[in-house]
């Protein structure tokens, strides 16, 4: 061990030598390694803190989106504290950061503009909660369920089992349709056209009976049928039902259409289709007979 001690002292000497200076603070290999270890520890601690908050809030009567926001913000706070301690370890204080702030902001303006915009948008989403994990949303033609809100982007899972990564800024700057914002329930509308020979009251009763047979239809708010209009070739009705499982809305509408078609057929109620009559006009000539 004694014969290795001089080499260790020499190695320690070299890694302690300053490589460069930042606002009068000397940065060495040792300080960089120490700072890296501290920040790595902060990352691990942030994940542990997020899991701890998750367990604490597990049985609390809070919305799932609220719990997710608290967990993610807790992680960001721990990471921020770890970053400040890391910078202080290598001798870069807040006053030193202010000295290089102008250069840093220029770098953000040119190279990190989109990243910064999406990160800030992610914080706004977590605080204001226009969307939350579990919501059914539509943004710029992307329709699906929010499964994760990250620092830079949000993950949306579609009904085709495809994960789509959407930048957070789109949820702030673009029009977003959130089917879950006001609650879990959603109203579905089924349009039905029947022939003019049909009794409107019988049609209404039939549609209400069909809605009662589906297990996914809620009793409250109540199902209703509207006589929508007198169409060109049909009497137009609209069936309004309420469901709780928004993810299955397309399947439920398909089930209702199958059952409506069968029920109307059993009562000899015709579902007409547009008819067009085409007349062929033939040109005729007046032919004068010779004298």
Give the list of residues 6+ apart from residue 50 with CB closer than 8 angstroms, or none.
Answer: 71, 72, 74, 75
> Domain 10-99 is of which CATH architecture?
Orthogonal Bundle (1.10)
The matching CATH number, chosen from 3.30.1050.10, 3.30.70.100, 3.30.360.10, 3.40.50.2300, for 186-266 is 3.30.70.100
Rounded to an integer, the average pLDDT of 142-157 is 90
In words, the CATH class of domain 131-178 is: mainly beta
Q: Is the pLDDT of residue 284 over 60?
A: no
Instruction: Give the pLDDT band (50/70/90) at residue 287.
Output: very low
pLDDT over 70 (residue 2): no
Q: Bridge partners of 177?
A: 138
Q: Distance between CA 49 and CA 132 in Å, rounded?
A: 20
* pLDDT over 90, % of the chain: 35
- Of the ranges 15-24, 29-38, 150-159, which is most confident? 150-159
Q: How many CB atoms lie within 10 A of CB 20?
A: 8
Average pLDDT, the chain: 82
Lowest average pLDDT, out of 41-45, 105-109, 113-117, 139-143, goes to 105-109
Over range 229-251, report the average pLDDT: 92
């Amino acid at each position: 061990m004694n014969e290795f001690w001089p080499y260790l002292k020499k190695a320690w000497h070299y890694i302690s030598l300053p490589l460069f200076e930042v606002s009068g603070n000397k940065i060495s290999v040792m300080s960089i390694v120490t700072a890296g270890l501290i920040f790595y520890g902060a990352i691990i601690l942030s994940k542990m803190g997020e899991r701890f908050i998750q367990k604490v809030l597990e049985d609390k009567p809070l919305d799932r989106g609220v719990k997710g926001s608290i967990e993610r913000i807790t992680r960001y706070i721990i990471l921020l504290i770890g970053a400040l301690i890391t910078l202080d370890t290598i001798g870069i204080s807040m006053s030193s950061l202010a000295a290089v702030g102008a250069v840093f902001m220029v770098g953000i303006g040119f190279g990190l503009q989109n990243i910064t915009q999406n990160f800030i948008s992610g914080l706004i989403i977590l605080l204001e909660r226009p969307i939350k994990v579990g919501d059914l949303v539509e943004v710029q033609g992307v329709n699906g369920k929010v499964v994760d809100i990250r620092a830079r982007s949000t993950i949306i899972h579609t009904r085709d089992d495809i994960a789509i990564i959407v930048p957070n800024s789109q949820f702030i700057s673009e029009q977003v349709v959130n089917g879950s914002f006001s609650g879990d329930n959603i109203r579905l509308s089924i349009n039905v056209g029947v022939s003019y020979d049909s009794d409107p009251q019988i049609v209404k009763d039939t549609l209400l009976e069909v809605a009662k047979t589906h297990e996914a239809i809620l009793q409250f708010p109540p199902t209703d049928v509207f006589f929508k209009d007198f169409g060109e070739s049909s009497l137009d009705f609209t069936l309004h039902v309420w469901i709780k499982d928004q993810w299955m809305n397309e399947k439920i509408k398909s089930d209702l259409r199958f059952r409506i078609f069968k029920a109307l057929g059993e009562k000899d109620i015709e579902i007409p289709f547009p008819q067009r009559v085409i007349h062929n006009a033939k040109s005729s000539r007046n032919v004068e007979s010779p004298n």
